[in-house]
A = this chain, B = another copy of it.
Amino acid sequence: MQIGSQTLAPLVRKLSLHAPLSQEDQAALLALPHAVRNLELGQYILREGDVPTHSCLVVSGFAIRHKITGNGGRQIVNIHLSGDMVDLQNSLLTTADHNVQALSRMSAAFLPREAIVELGFSRPAVGKALWLETLVEGSISREWITNVGRRDAQTRVAHLLCEFAYRLDAVGIGPECNYELPMTQEQLADSVGLTPVHVNRTLKALDAAGLTKRSRKSVVITDLQKLAETGDFRSTYLHLPPHALPKHHQ
């Protein structure tokens, strides 16, 4: 258990995105008690039915949240990047209603729930920032419902790829609009409610159209502008501060 290191810097970075935090607020965040763990690809951070005591911050790498349906289908409901608090969702709920799993090798910081909640209420600026994070996540969820419910395969996949581009850019990963996505086609499929086979064909089409370039287990976006058109993507729902947006997309 560490106190006061710089491990939590990505959290401060993320929370300051919308409204600046005072030095004291930042210090208080960095001083949160936490334990860092390195997780292997595929390792579960939380399983449906668990009663979590800690929230988890993604320090590096990727994590997904997913649900399993009665007939064995899997639906990924969220993907978390560096700086994301994966488990604020469960911070006040007793029983986890979904699974959280490492999408890659990753490093995560585990923070006791009460410490976070306490800090949120003792420092309103921090509390608001945390709340805002939750709200943005809700917004993303709504967009995902729309994506999966009302868009065709091509559009869906393109949309997801765009979301990634913007979110990765916002946390400062990846050069310009040329991003790499370390997801298998099966995982992409589970994110957009399609089969892996169909995702494969869809990616091939995007590739042929010159919007992406693929290699194994990853996708590179070559033309974000056109991809956004194809994907019916407008970034408003991400509620990113203006300066964080890729330039050519104001």
Question: B-contacting residues of A (Cβ < 8 Å)?
Answer: 65, 67, 69-71, 73-75, 77-78, 88-95, 97-98, 117, 121, 124, 127-128, 131-132, 134-139, 141-146, 148-151, 155, 192-193, 232, 236-237, 239
Chain A interface helix/strand/loop/mixed? helix
Q: What CA separation (Å) do A128 and B143 show in the bound complex?
A: 26
**Interchain CB contact under 8 A, B142 and A65:** yes
**Interchain CB contact under 8 A, A239 and B93:** yes
In the complex, chain B residues whose CB is within 8 Å of the CB of A146: 67, 69, 75, 77
In the complex, chain B residues whose CB is within 8 Å of the CB of A92: 128, 131-132, 135
From known contacts A75-B146, A127-B127, A148-B145, infer whether A139 and B93 are also in contact, taking CB-CB under 8 Å. Answer: yes
Q: What CA separation (Å) do A74 and B133 show in the bound complex?
A: 26
**Interchain CB contact under 8 A, A193 and B149:** yes
The 8 Å CB contact of A67, one of B97, B142, B239, is B142
Q: What CA separation (Å) do A124 and B119 show in the bound complex?
A: 11
In the complex, chain B residues whose CB is within 8 Å of the CB of A151: 69, 73
**Interchain CB contact under 8 A, A97 and B237:** yes
From known contacts A69-B151, A131-B92, infer whether A138 and B141 are also in contact, taking CB-CB under 8 Å. Answer: yes
15 sampled A-B residue pairs with Cβ under 8 A: A70-B155, A73-B150, A75-B145, A88-B135, A89-B135, A91-B135, A92-B135, A93-B136, A95-B236, A97-B236, A121-B121, A131-B134, A134-B134, A141-B144, A145-B145
From known contacts A141-B142, A142-B98, A148-B145, infer whether A132 and B93 are also in contact, taking CB-CB under 8 Å. Answer: yes
Q: What CA separation (Å) do A239 and B97 show in the bound complex?
A: 9
**Nearest CB in chain B: distance from A249 CB, A:** 16
**Nearest CB in chain B: distance from A94 CB, A:** 8
In the complex, chain B residues whose CB is within 8 Å of the CB of A73: 150-151
Enumerate the 10 nearest inter-chain pairs by beta-carbon distance, A residue then B residue, closest first: A149-B193, A141-B141, A70-B232, A73-B150, A75-B146, A148-B149, A77-B142, A97-B237, A75-B150, A67-B146
